[in-house]
């Protein structure tokens, strides 16, 4: 199989990821707005349908059907399935949880990327980074507070979404070695539209004109954000980009306060701080090991 030699630009990769995350958070605010009236299946369907439309508008000059060509279709099917599951779990969580709380729990994803990089990417991870992974998991448990009765049961949903999302990111990095950004985006869009279209008729509620506009905005923000995420992963290793997922809490908190009057409590803030500190330590070790042999 032919491997694509892509120029690496870590700074630009970081910028693209941060812009993409701002768009994702805007989409999540739309999901929370639509959730009281619509089943999650219809919301996920609208996200994928208008995402696919954005993909077509971006790449139709390149020959839209040429984008499906790949030497590893099962890799793209696996990626796409993981993204669909991650999206569904997270959207379902937004029906019950404050936006900032759901995002804070999802912050375990960058730590999971490091953990999963061992069996999947065959990367070496020393004891210090293993300790940071463990501490980050403890931070997530502080936010979720299992058994305390202080958190809604749906708090487990963003955690499951984070697991799927972490593996998706690693598979995206693998796919970028041989396939273009357009190919990855095409497979994700088409798979999501195909699967959700099978089930949405059973949950359909006809939207108003305003709600159609919100659904279009949802798909557009995710479509463009997803493209920027893939481009970022092409330009820089997942382990370098993953700490910048934490910028999403700024947007989540801001949107939560402005649009829903929700602010995370101090326990959630404390747990998020533990998770963020753990992820930043992992990033520091990754940066250090890139310039000298790792000693952890």
Q: Which two tokens stand for residue 260?
A: 């829903």
Closest CA to 267 of 143, 116, 183, 125: 143
Cβ contact 242:74 at 8 Å: no
The Cα 102–Cα 93 span in angstroms is 7
Q: Count, in order, helices (H) and strands (E) of the chain.
A: 12, 0
Show the tokens assigned to 263. Answer: 């602010």
Residue-wise pLDDT for 17-54, tens only, equals 888 888 988 999 999 999 999 999 999 999 999 988 88
Write the pLDDT tens digit of every residue in 253-279: 878 888 888 777 787 788 778 877 877
> What pLDDT, on a 0 to 100 scale, did the predictor assign at position 199?
95
Say how many C-beta atoms besides its own lie within 10 A of residue 263's C-beta. 13
Q: Tell me the mean pLDDT in the region 203-227.
A: 91
pTM over 0.85: no
Average pLDDT, the chain: 81
How many Cα atoms sit within 13 Å of 256 on the Cβ side? 19
């Amino acid at each position: 199989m032919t491997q694509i030699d892509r120029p690496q630009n870590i700074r630009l990769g970081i910028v693209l990821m941060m812009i993409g995350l701002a768009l994702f958070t805007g989409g999540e605010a739309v999901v929370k707005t639509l959730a009281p009236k619509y089943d999650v299946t219809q919301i996920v369907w609208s996200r994928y349908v208008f995402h696919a439309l954005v993909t077509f508008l971006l790449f139709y000059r390149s020959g839209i059907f040429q984008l499906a060509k790949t030497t590893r279709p099962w890799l793209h099917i696996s990626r796409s399935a993981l993204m669909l599951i991650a999206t569904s779990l997270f959207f379902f969580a937004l029906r019950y949880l404050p936006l900032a709380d759901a995002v804070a729990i999802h912050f375990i994803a960058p730590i999971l990327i490091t953990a999963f990089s061992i069996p999947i990417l065959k990367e070496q991870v020393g004891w210090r980074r293993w300790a940071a992974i463990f501490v980050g998991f403890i931070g997530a448990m502080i936010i979720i507070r299992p058994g305390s009765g202080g958190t809604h049961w749906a708090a487990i949903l963003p955690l499951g979404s984070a697991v799927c999302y972490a593996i998706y990111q690693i598979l995206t990095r693998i796919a970028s070695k041989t396939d273009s950004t357009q190919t990855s985006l095409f497979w994700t869009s088409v798979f999501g539209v195909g699967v959700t279209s099978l089930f949405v008729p059973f949950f359909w509620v006809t939207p108003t004109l305003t709600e159609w506009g919100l659904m279009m905005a949802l798909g557009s923000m995710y479509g463009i954000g997803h493209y920027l995420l893939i481009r970022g992963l092409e330009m820089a290793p997942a382990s370098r980009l993953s700490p910048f997922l934490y910028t999403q809490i700024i947007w989540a908190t801001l949107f939560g306060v402005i649009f829903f009057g929700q602010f995370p409590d101090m326990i959630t803030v404390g747990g998020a701080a533990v998770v963020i500190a753990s992820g930043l330590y992992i990033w520091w070790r990754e940066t250090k090991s890139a310039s000298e042999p790792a000693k952890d």
